[in-house]
Amino acid sequence: MPSSFTVAFVLGATPGKWSRVWRERLPETPLELVPSEQDEALAMLAAGTADVALVRLPIDRALESDRPLAAIPLYTERAVAVIPKEHPLAERDELSIAEVRSGLLVDEEWRAAVESVAANIGIAVMPQAVARALMRKDVVPRLIIEGPEWQVAVAWRDGSIDPLVEEFIGIVRGRTARSSRGTAGAVEAEGTDTSKRSAGASGAKKTANRGAGARASGAKVAPRHTAKPQRSRNKRRKG
């Protein structure tokens, strides 16, 4: 077993809930969480200094590495507008995208953008989780109706056969301790079982529907025939 398992994660991602599950299942392998910028997290993956990374899509899957990157989307983040606390729009709970665009948009890296908003330079748009992480007293976040969205994903070097990578993927996808190992195989098997159950349920439903439809239309439904037990040919005759 390796001395530790390293997870790089971008601002706003929350690996804490998964790290608790990891410690319960694999107490012998410490989990190292490394906060990173997006480019840093991807570079760590390419160099092999991170085993997996929590990043935002899209990513360059052929990131100058001996192995391309693979990724599975985990959840979607809504957008918020970060505005000065004394701004007229701060009185609203939600803003339309048109209202946001009517102001001066700050196009900077998110940390720098919050500083510019606090200086009353303009309005910044970012994921809700990022705004929560960077929040300060002189700015407020407001949800944007039908605004942009971001997808947070778990990424790793494709072709990895490391069972710990599959274990982590299983944890973030909500798999139980029994089914998380062999993630790819478990997903395929689960899909097959689900298809079989759906097909069986569909067939039973169709049979029931045909019987119900026939009764509703007044048609006769053929009764089910039960096989009668055959009498023995060697039955003793009464003398």
* Residue position matching structure tokens 């720098």: 112
Q: Where are the beta strands (DSSP E) in 85-134?
A: 94-96, 124-127
pLDDT given at position 187: 38
pLDDT per position as a tens digit, 90-136:
999 999 999 999 989 999 999 999 999 999 999 999 999 999 999 99
Q: Is the pLDDT of residue 196 over 70?
A: no
- Average pLDDT of the residues of the chain: 80
What is the pLDDT confidence band of residue 63, given thresholds at 50, 70 and 90?
A: low
Distance CA 54, CA 239 (A): 90
Q: Where are the domains of the chain?
A: 5-76+151-184, 77-149
Nearest to 107 by CA among 94, 117, 98: 117
* Residue position matching structure tokens 């710990």: 164
Q: Is the pLDDT of residue 170 over 70?
A: yes
pLDDT given at position 75: 95
pLDDT given at position 188: 35
Identical topology for domains 5-76+151-184 and 77-149: yes
Q: Where are the beta strands (DSSP E) in 59-163?
A: 69-84, 94-96, 124-127, 139-145, 149-157
**Contact by Cβ (8 Å): 141, 100:** no
Q: Is the pLDDT of residue 84 over 50?
A: yes
pLDDT given at position 159: 80
Please give the distance of CA 163 from its chain centroid, rounded to a whole number.
20
Distance CA 9, CA 21 (A): 17
Q: Is the pLDDT of residue 214 over 60?
A: no
Q: Higher model confidence: residue 106 or residue 228?
A: 106
Following CA atoms 107, 108, 114, 119 in sequence, which dihedral angle do they give, to the nearest 10 degrees? -70
What is the pLDDT confidence band of residue 198, given thresholds at 50, 70 and 90?
A: very low
Amino acid in position 96: S
CATH 3.30.70.260 fits 77-149, yes or no: no
3-state secondary structure of 205: helix
* Percent above pLDDT 70 for the chain: 71
* Percent above pLDDT 90 for the chain: 63
Least confident window among 41-45, 103-107, 196-200 = 196-200
Region 218-229 average pLDDT: 45
Supply the DSSP symbol for 199: H
Q: Is the pLDDT of residue 211 over 90?
A: no
Distance CA 13, CA 9 (A): 6
pLDDT given at position 190: 38
Distance CA 108, CA 102 (A): 18
* Domain 5-76+151-184 CATH (choose: 3.40.190.10, 1.20.1090.10, 3.30.110.70, 3.40.50.300): 3.40.190.10
